[in-house]
Amino acid sequence: MNPFTYAFIGALIFTLALRWMLSVRHLRHVARHRDAVPEAFAGTISLAAHQKAADYTTAKTRLGLFQALADTVLVAVLTLGGGLDALQWLSANLAGGELSRGILLIALVAGVSMLVSLPFGLYTTFGIERRFGFNRMTFRLWLADAIKGLLLGALIGLPLAGVILFLMQASGSLWWLYAWLVWSGFSLLMLVLYPTFIAPLFNRFTPLAQGALRARIEALLARTGFASNGIFVMDGSRRSSHGNAYFTGMGRAKRIVFFDTLLKELDDEEIEAVLAHELGHFRRRHITQRMIFSFALTLGFLYLLGQLLDQAWFYAGLGVSQPGTAVALVLFTLVMPVFTFVFTPLSSLLSRRHEYEADAFAATEARADALVSALVKLYRDNASTLTPDPMHSAFYDSHPPAALRIGHLKGLNA
C-alpha cells in the first residue's frame, strides 16, 4: 500500500476520534452543570433558561457526532472507496472537453456533498430549532432558500471553478499564483456585491427609522469614524427568533445590519453597546487582519497543490487512478481539512483574542455594563450554554465562554 495511504487513513481516523472525544467531553460537562446556574448569572438567568440552553446544546452536539461520522465516511468513499473515479467516468461520458469535464466533476462532487449534508440541515431546522422554539421557517421558505442558494452556487461558483481549472491547465508552473490572484479578486468583489445584490435575495432590509435609537447610533458612528452606506433592519424573524447584529461589505458598500429580533429584545443603550463591539472589530483592524491571513493561507495551499499536481503518489495514495487538474483540486479540497483539523484551536484563539479587544473598545465608546446586560439577554434568548467544556471551547469557540467574557467586561467597568 502507498505510504501516503497509511498517512491519510491515520489522519482520517485521528480527526474523527478527536471530534468525537471533544463532543463527548462537551456533552458530559454540560450535563454535569445542568442543574445549577453559574454564580455569575444567578441573578439574571433562571434555572429553566439555563436548563433549556443545556438541552439545546446537547441536542446540537449529539447531531454533530453523527455529522462528523457522515463527513468522514463521505471523504473515505470518494477517495479510497473509488467514488471520485466513478464520478470522473460519469463526467467523461456526459461532457466533451477537458475543461467542461472538470467543471462537471466539481459540480457532481458538490452535489453529492450537498445530499449527504441535507438530512442534517433539515433536522437542525425542523427538528432541533423547532423543538426549542427558535425556528419560524416554513418548509416552503426553506425550499425557496435552498433553490436560490443552489442557483447562486451554480451561477457564481461554477464559472469561478472554470477559470481556476483553465489557469491550472494553460498557464504553466505559476498557475497557482494566477489562480490566487483571481480568487483574491473574486473574494474582494463578493464583499462589495454581497450586501447590495445577494443578501436581499434572501432577506428584506429596511432602513432603520428615524428616532432616538438612530440618533444614538449615528453619534456612535461619528465618534468612531465609521462611514457606512446605511443602517438597516433585517427581517430575521421570518426564519428564526435568534438575534444578531453585524456590519458587512467594504469601502462605500459597508452596511450596518440589525436583526429585527435583536431590536425587540434590547434597549437602546444595549444596542449601542453591541454595535460598539462590532465597530471595535473595524477600528482594531480585525477584519483586515483576517482577510490578510485568509489570503496568505490560500496562497500557501495553492502553492502546495501546485507541487502535488504532477505527483503520482498523491493520486494513487488517495485511491484515484486517473490524475488530472479537476480531480487534483477536488482531492486537495477534500483531504486538506483532514490534515489541518488539529490547527483549529489556533484560529479559535486568535478570534477570541479579537473578541476581547472589541469588548475593550466597546467599553470606551459605550457603557460596559450595557454590553454585559445585552450579552446576558442574548445568551438567554439564544439558549447559549453558560458551561461549555473548557477543552471543547478552546478548540472550537470563536467567542470566549460566557463567564470569562462577562468577567472581563466587569473588570473593564471597575
- Residue from 278, 365, 381, 389 carrying the catalytic annotation: 278
Q: Identify residue 165 by its one-letter amino acid code.
A: L
Residue 26 annotated as lining a ligand binding site? no
CA angle 123, 126, 127 (to 5 degrees): 60
Tell me the longest C-alpha to C-alpha distance in the chain: 70
91 with 101: CB under 8 angstroms?
A: yes
Q: How far is CA 62 from CA 68, 103, 180, 383, in A?
A: 10, 36, 38, 16
Closest CA to 237 of 258, 254, 215: 258
CA angle 112, 190, 204 (to 5 degrees): 90
Identify whether 359 is a catalytic site residue: yes
Residue 98 annotated as lining a ligand binding site? no
Identify whether 39 is a catalytic site residue: no
In whole angstroms, what is the distance from residue 269 CA to residue 273 CA?
A: 6
According to DSSP, the residues that pair with 258 across neighbouring strands are: 233, 245
Closest CA to 363 of 306, 309, 297, 284: 284
In whole angstroms, what is the distance from residue 166 CA to residue 170 CA?
A: 6
CA angle 211, 214, 218 (to 5 degrees): 135
In whole angstroms, what is the distance from residue 103 CA to residue 162 CA?
A: 6
Query: What sign results for the dihedral spanned by CA atoms 268, 270, 276, 277?
Result: negative
In whole angstroms, what is the distance from residue 202 CA to residue 151 CA?
A: 13
Grid cell digits, residue 229: 452606506
- Residue from 359, 369, 381, 397 carrying the catalytic annotation: 359
Residue 29 annotated as lining a ligand binding site? no
Cite the annotated binding site by residue number.
277, 281, 355
Name the residues annotated as catalytic. 278, 359
- Residue positions in the annotated binding site for Zn(2+)? 277, 281, 355
